[in-house]
Amino acid sequence: MSDPVLTKITNSPKRKSLFHFTRVRNLLSMVQQDALYSSHQADPAWSNGRREVRREIHFHGQVYIANAHLRIADQMMAANTTHQQFYHYLDQHVFFWPTYRDCLKMLEMYSKREPQEAFAILQLDAYSLLFDYHNRVKLSKYDSGSSPRYANRCSYKKSLQMFLPLEQFEMVRENDVPTKPSEIREVLVEEKVTNLSRYLQAVYCNEMKEIPDGWRMYAQSLQDFKKGELMK
C-alpha cells in the first residue's frame, strides 16, 4: 500500500483515529478474542437479509449483540442492487467512523433509541490499522446503513459500487465514491480485525468497571468523549 496515500488520509488531526461504536455487552467477547468480527463471520445464519431486530449471537463461548438493520426505502436502492444483496454485503464487514463527529452522532442516536442500553466506543490508531488491512479496507462517501428520511431528495443510490477499495483511492473518480480524505465518511474492513489491542488507544464507557480487565488500562470516560476530550 502506498505510504503517501495513507499519510494523506490520516494527515488531518481530526482523522488520526478510527472509532468503533458497540455495546458494553460486546466488550468481553472482543477482549477475549482480541478481535472484531463481522456479523457474517460470527454467524452466517443472521446475515442472509435484513435483520429487523437486534440479535444475540453466541460466538466462541460469549454473547455478541448484532444491531438491527435500518429499513432502507426502495427509492434509495440502485437498480442493480437488491436490499438482500446490500444487507448481506454490510454484514461481511466491520465498521469504523473516521471522525469523532460522525461517531458522536451514532452514539447520540442510539442513546435516544435505547436509553437503557450501555454503549462503548473504541478509539484506534488509523494509520497502522489501514496499513495492516489495506487489501481488505473499503471506503464510503456515505453512511451506508442509514435510512434517509427524504429518499427522493438524496443525490445518491445505495449499491455495492459505493464501496471503494482503499487501494483504488484517488484512482477512481466517480460521484458516489470518496475522491479526497474529507469525503471519507465510513471505513469498512472485510471479515475481521485481529490483534485489536495493537491499534487500541482508548475505550470510552460510562462505568469503568464494565470494561474487562484486559482493556482496563485503556479506560476513559464516555462523558469525556461527548465533550471531545479524546486520547491523542
Note the pLDDT of residue 46: 59
Place of cell 463471520: 41
Cα separation values, 9 from 3, 82, 166, 232, Å: 10, 31, 10, 17
CB 36 within 8 A of CB 60: no
DSSP states of 11-22 as a string?
-SGGGSEEEEEE
Give Cβ neighbours of residue 12 (< 8 Å, ≥ 6 apart): 181, 182
pLDDT of residue 151: 74
Distance spanning both ends of the chain, measured CA to CA: 25
One-letter amino acid for residue 46 of the chain: W
Which pTM does this prediction carry?
0.92
> What is the pairing mode between strands 55-59 and 200-205?
unpaired
pLDDT at 2: 65
Please give the angle made by the CA atoms of 91, 98 and 127, to the nearest 5 degrees: 105
pLDDT digits (tens), the chain, 232 positions? 668 999 999 999 999 999 999 999 999 999 999 999 998 887 776 566 555 556 677 777 777 777 666 678 888 889 999 988 988 899 899 999 999 999 999 999 999 988 999 999 999 999 999 999 999 999 999 988 877 777 778 888 999 999 999 999 999 888 899 999 999 999 999 999 999 999 999 999 998 888 999 999 999 999 999 999 898 7
For residue 149, which of 109, 209, 188, 94 has the smallest C-alpha distance? 109
pLDDT of 77: 87
